[in-house]
């Protein structure tokens, strides 16, 4: 399964270092497939909530330390 979402990535000026990316999720969904031997089963898209996004924040922040990842969903 894969979690995905619609993101807003505004850039803000921070000090003299230039632009810093800031990621704000506005929606989320999961989708995917399972392979069992020669069979492929599709998983339909499913809506994810803000808590699902927040569950990925530690990994995202560790992988992209120069970026800011906001918790929760930003109102569209």
What confidence score (pLDDT) does residue 75 get? 80
Tokens 């492929």 belong to residue: 40
- pLDDT range class, residue 4, cuts 50, 70, 90: low
Q: For 8-46, what is each residue's pLDDT tens digit?
A: 555 555 555 667 788 888 888 888 888 999 999 998 998
What confidence score (pLDDT) does residue 20 get? 75
pTM of the model: 0.68
Q: Supply φ then ψ for residue 74, to 5 degrees.
A: -85, 135
What confidence score (pLDDT) does residue 52 get? 92
Region 49-55: what's the mean pLDDT? 93
Reading the block at residue 73, the tokens are 């969903």
């Amino acid at each position: 399964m894969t979690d995905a979402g619609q993101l807003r990535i505004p850039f803000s000026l921070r000090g003299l270092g230039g632009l810093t990316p800031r990621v704000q999720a506005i929606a989320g969904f999961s989708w995917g497939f399972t392979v069992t031997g020669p069979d492929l089963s599709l998983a339909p898209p499913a809506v994810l909530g803000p808590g699902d996004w927040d569950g990925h924040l530690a990994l995202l922040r560790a992988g992209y330390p120069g970026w800011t990842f906001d918790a929760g969903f930003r109102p569209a």
